[in-house]
Amino acid sequence: MPGTMLALRKTRPERGAELVEIPVPEPGEGEVLVRVHAASICGTDLHIFDWNEWAQKRIPRLPMTFGHEVAGYVERIGPEVHHLKPGAFVAAETHISCGHCTTCRSGRAHICENLRILGVDADGAFAGFVVLPAQNAWEVGEGIPPDVASVMEPFGNGVHAAFGTGGGEDLATNAVAVIGCGPIGLFAVGITRALGAWKVIAIEPNDYRREKAREMGADLLVNPTEQDPVVMVLEATGGSGAEVVLEMSGNPRAIDQGTRMLARGGRMSLLGLPDSAVTLDLNDQVIFKEARLQGITGREMFRTWQQTTTLLSTGRVDVTPVITHRFPLERYEEAFATTASGRSGKVILLPKE
């Protein structure tokens, strides 16, 4: 194997990135070196590329290699790695937990008190190779194509939001509203359809993404710039509202609307991150409804990964309509522009190594 590799790195505190040649990292104790097959771009990567206010406050050091949604082949294993062998094909769980805090020891490692994120706090995957903790390398079984494996991490966000911390029993035979149909919202449309939702309502202002939601199985498409989504959901459900609302947009107004379209006793999963304060009618739309509002972050380690594997490997959910573009790593500027255009689903970068 080569001694050096190309890596897309954030080298300066300004917009953009640089493709540079750096040494291939060595796996330490309990770690594996993965030869990257594909790495997809997400909103976090756009923030880092643009070097917006969030990235300026969040990124701990420069230079750093970013990118975290990745799948590839185990090239080398470090000491004390016993369950993986070179050649294994894996996808990465990107939440790196400490394993010893109270949250980890209570079985909730995905919200670890000392959480680190691949491609944010540790060098990431827009490169020929990436080092992962061995426990974060999920071996991908048969039935999941390599490119699809590279989006298992964000797909898992949709799975976690759909199931919530319960078993997802409230999905079957009920109406579900998905607010915001970026890639994770589109995944959620397909997931809730596969889990037996009676009606899946997709709420999205972007024409391209609404049509993608149709491809993923949405029954009703709502453009919130032209239609009142609360009225549309209530009409579609005979006035009862959606038993489950999956809020993926982070838009403060949409979050408020989500509580208003939610059925009494219903569940609202909140994955989208608002950039300003959110005002809610807690009395009528939450408390008197006995609504359950639940924050969602990452994936439950590793229950969500098992659910994700089952949904993808059995063909219950086909994510290929969401994977819309593939670029070699050298064309990263075009790839990031495509991701930001609003006319793409998941954009995948493919290293040459």
**Which residue is it, tokens 């149909």?**
181
**3-state DSSP of 282-296:** HHHHHHCCCCEEEEC
Q: What is the DSSP letter of 122?
A: B
Q: Which helix (DSSP H) or strand (DSSP E) does residue 319 occupy?
A: none
From the candidates 37, 44, 65, 325, give the one annotated as an active-site residue: 44
168: number of Cβ within 10 Å? 18
Residue 83 catalytic?
no
**Strands 31-40 and 346-350, how do they pair?**
antiparallel
In angstroms, the CA 107 to CA 78 distance is: 26
Q: Is 44 a catalytic residue?
A: yes
From the list 28, 165, 198, 196, the residue with the least C-alpha distance to 96 is 28
SS3 260: helix
Residue in 37, 47, 68, 325 annotated catalytic: 47
Hey, what are 87's tokens? 């050649």
Contacts of 199 (CB under 8 A, 6+ apart): 175, 176, 219, 220, 236, 237
Catalytic residue ranges: 44, 47
